Amino acid sequence: MSSTHRGLHDPEGHLEADLALDRAPHECLIKAVLGWTGDPGLAPADLQQIALLLTGAARTVAGDVRRAADQLPDEHAARALADVVLDEADRRLAVRMEGTVRCVQGRARLVRALYERLDRFVAAAPSPSVPPEPLHPGATPITTCLAT
């Protein structure tokens, strides 16, 4: 029997860079998971699915952190910090997933930390010196419209 599914070959990660992760649902999940003070009453398979979702988010945000750090000048101290943060993320993601509250909360903390680091890198990134081109030829840039 042959499969009709095809794998996507994207070794340079172009698609991942262009498709932003929807952050709000992950932040809601992180908040809920970290709010558990005891047994949430979920089956181990459900906990493993949540851990799997958070693992995917962590890997995607880690890629975003790498791309944001690459935008910084080579001598910027945050670039070295990015390597440390990403090495730690890789180490934590290499630990086998389990269907436990502890595992899910660990993944949630990792995604939260990666988002925090990403926000810092984006804030530290140099802003482009050239204003963006209008979306349509002949359109007036928004900054011009606001200045009048």
- pLDDT tens digits for range 76-91: 888 888 888 899 999 9
- pLDDT tens digits for range 111-128: 999 999 999 888 876 665
SS3 sequence of the chain: CCCCCCCCCCCCCHHHHHCCCCHHHHHHHHHHHHCCCCCCCCCHHHHHHHHHHHHHHHHHHHHHHHHHHHCCCCCCHHHHHHHHHHHHHHHHHHCCCCCCHHHHHHHHHHHHHHHHHHHHHHHHCCCCCCCCCCCCCCCCCHHHHHHC
pTM above 0.85, yes or no: no
What integer pLDDT is reported at residue 11 of this predicted model? 53
pLDDT at 141 over 60: no
- pLDDT tens digits for range 46-81: 999 999 999 999 999 999 999 888 888 888 888 888
